[in-house]
Amino acid sequence: MKDGQAKQKVIIAGGGTAGWMTAAALGKVLEKVCDVTLVESDAIGTVGVGEATIPTLVTYNRLIGLDEAKWMSAVKGTFKLGIAFENWTDLNHRYIHSFGITGKDHWTAGFQHFWHRGRELGVAKEFGDYCLELIAAEKDRFAHLPDLGLNYAYHIDATAYAGFLREIAERHGVKRREGRIAEVRRAANGDIASLVLDDGAELDGDLFVDCTGFRALLIEGALGVGYDDWTHWLPCDRAIAVQTESVRAPRPYTRSIAHEAGWRWQIPLQHRTGNGTVYCSKYMSDDEAQAKLLNDIEGRPLTEPRVLRFRTGMRRQHWHRNCIAIGLSSGFIEPLESTSIHLIQRSVMRLMRMFPQHGVHQPDVDEFNAQTAYETDHIRDFIILHYHLTNRTDTPFWRHVRSMEIPESLAHRMRLFRETGRVFRANDELFAENSWTQVMLGQGLMPETHHPVADVMSEAEITKFLDYIIENVNRTANGLPAHEDYLKSYCPAA
Ligand code: FAD
């Protein structure tokens, strides 16, 4: 920071996971460049869900300097190696989308081509049997491994996580202001000038980060940027969450169990289990959903069930004028692949890369919006895939999602995979080839053929190749400690 240069005044509106993730990162990395104030209202509270994550959170935590074991104890976390999808493809069918790499790719062709050839020859086992993370998850085992370790994420207590982030943020100079935002004032040029709180206090700033959750007080309430509605592709619009006592050792994976009009999650923490149901109100009433959830959960409820309403879609602009929306204020896809916290993290990183130190520049705004929209569109396609690619016809909901029109970008990917076994990760897309392959195969889409490089190997060679991978996977997985034992020694709940 050059002498005499004024610090940018950043106001973060909202203190949920989005607000505090933004505050902690700005505080830690740009403390000398900006003055950050976060305003939140205890009376309003946070959405209170968001407990399953994906491996990119490991990177964010490193960026803000978290001690993993200490943090895991504080958030009563467990390790997550993937998600088990039950009853999605068909009733009584199950597969795991794991965070690992399945088998071994050749530079010309992904492992699925070799597996497909092995399958035709009758020498291949299930696709997932060739993935260490998946087999470790099935065996309830986990450990950090030296060198190329397991690729993992976490299940966390979201409220405790926000508290942890707050502590880091405040240590790095972020100021917290309690109060309800009653009014958003605009400047003559149309930018946001200040936030007026219930008690009359006025907070002015150069840059405003809207982390007010579904309310989107600044980006929509004040600036009215508009919303692209995706309910025609992702029709679920309600959720009910309830926490229960744990009835078994925590599994190192999330369970996603499809039901008549949506699905139910089960997220194991060290001290309790997070549960919830996601459903489409057109096909299931709130009363039905609640009764079904309370009937299906294992363990005594610890909280009252809470209904959450949402509309899937994305804000037309994530950054507009001097306001950036991060978190639920910027849109919501659905919690199916636990991507919301990841999207928060991505927007925070982007904000730091494009931090408007000398005022807002439109090219930065355009770049930020283009990158965010691109990334979100691809995640949207991945989530739609789970609903659309199903054999289920047992209820009107499943008949609807199975036959609905889907985005051309997704239709192309499915055609390419069906006809050739090929799938490509485009640019900075979150989900790589292996994720698409696991879910497309898991949901029952078998390629018609494979790459010719797989035919170069003789039957004996391909058998040896496949058996070698399985042997390695099983040897390593069997050598891992039980997930529960590892948690007790590495990061017992504080
Ligand atoms: P919120 O938590 O709603 O926070 C909003 C903040 O704004 C609060 O502090 C509130 O007090 C403040 N505020 C609002 N209005 C005012 C006002 N007028 N004055 C002052 N303050 C105000 N994500 C995942 O990554 N994994 C998951 O497993 C997952 N599961 C989910 C399940 C469901 C059913 C839902 C709905 C979401 C899920 N998400 C999940 C998303 C995740 O919960 C959110 O991305 C995350 O919690 C961030 O929320 P937020 O901070 O944007 O909003």
What was the pLDDT predicted at 3?
Answer: 53
The residue to mutate among 196, 324, 340, 379, having the most atoms of ligand 1 within 8 angstroms of its beta carbon, is: 340
Query: What is the ipTM score, two decimals?
Result: 0.99
What was the pLDDT predicted at 6?
Answer: 81
What was the pLDDT predicted at 419?
Answer: 98
Q: What is the pLDDT of residues 342-394, one digit of tens each?
A: 999 999 999 999 999 999 999 999 999 999 999 999 999 999 999 999 999 99
User: For the residues 48-54, what does the mean pLDDT come to?
Assistant: 91
Which residues lie with the beta carbon below 6 Å from any ligand 1 atom? Answer: 14-19, 39-41, 44-47, 49-53, 158, 180-181, 211-213, 215, 217, 239, 276, 308, 310, 327-329, 335, 338, 340-341, 344
3-state secondary structure of 25: helix
Question: 436 CA distance to ligand 1 centroid (A)?
Answer: 28
- Which of ligand 1's atoms lies nearest the C-alpha of 158? 47
**Which domains, and CATH codes, for the chain?**
8-51+157-229+312-360 (3.50.50.60), 82-148+238-309+400-494 (3.50.50.60)
- Which of ligand 1's atoms lies nearest the C-alpha of 20? 51
Hey, what are 441's tokens?
Answer: 């195969």
Q: What torsion do the CA atoms of 97, 99, 105, 107 make, to the nearest 10 degrees?
A: 120
**80 counts as catalytic:** yes
Q: What is the pLDDT of residues 210-247, one digit of tens each?
A: 999 999 999 999 999 999 999 999 999 999 999 999 99
Q: Which of 80, 139, 175, 292 is catalytic?
A: 80
> In whole angstroms, what is the distance from residue 215 CA to residue 206 CA?
22
Taking all residues of the chain, what is their mean pLDDT, rounded to a whole number? 95
Question: 36 CA distance to ligand 1 centroid (A)?
Answer: 20
- Which of ligand 1's atoms lies nearest the C-alpha of 181? 19
> In whole angstroms, what is the distance from residue 289 CA to residue 259 CA?
10
> In whole angstroms, what is the distance from residue 375 CA to residue 428 CA?
7
Encode burial over 180-197: b for 16+ CB neighbours within 10 A, e otherwise.
ebeebeeeeeebbbbbbb
The residue to mutate among 38, 40, 236, 309, having the most atoms of ligand 1 within 8 angstroms of its beta carbon, is: 40
Contact by Cβ (8 Å): 223, 192 = yes
Question: 161 CA distance to ligand 1 centroid (A)?
Answer: 12
3-state secondary structure of 491: coil
What was the pLDDT predicted at 333?
Answer: 95
The DSSP output letter for 443 is: T
Hey, what are 419's tokens?
Answer: 């006809």
Report CA-CA distances (Å) from 343 to 24, 57, 348, 379, 428.
16, 10, 9, 10, 13
C-alpha triplet 331, 334, 337: angle, nearest 5°: 120
What was the pLDDT predicted at 4?
Answer: 56
- Which of ligand 1's atoms lies nearest the C-alpha of 342? 25
Question: 167 CA distance to ligand 1 centroid (A)?
Answer: 19
Statement: residue 36 has pLDDT above 60:
yes
The residue to mutate among 49, 237, 263, 308, having the most atoms of ligand 1 within 8 angstroms of its beta carbon, is: 49
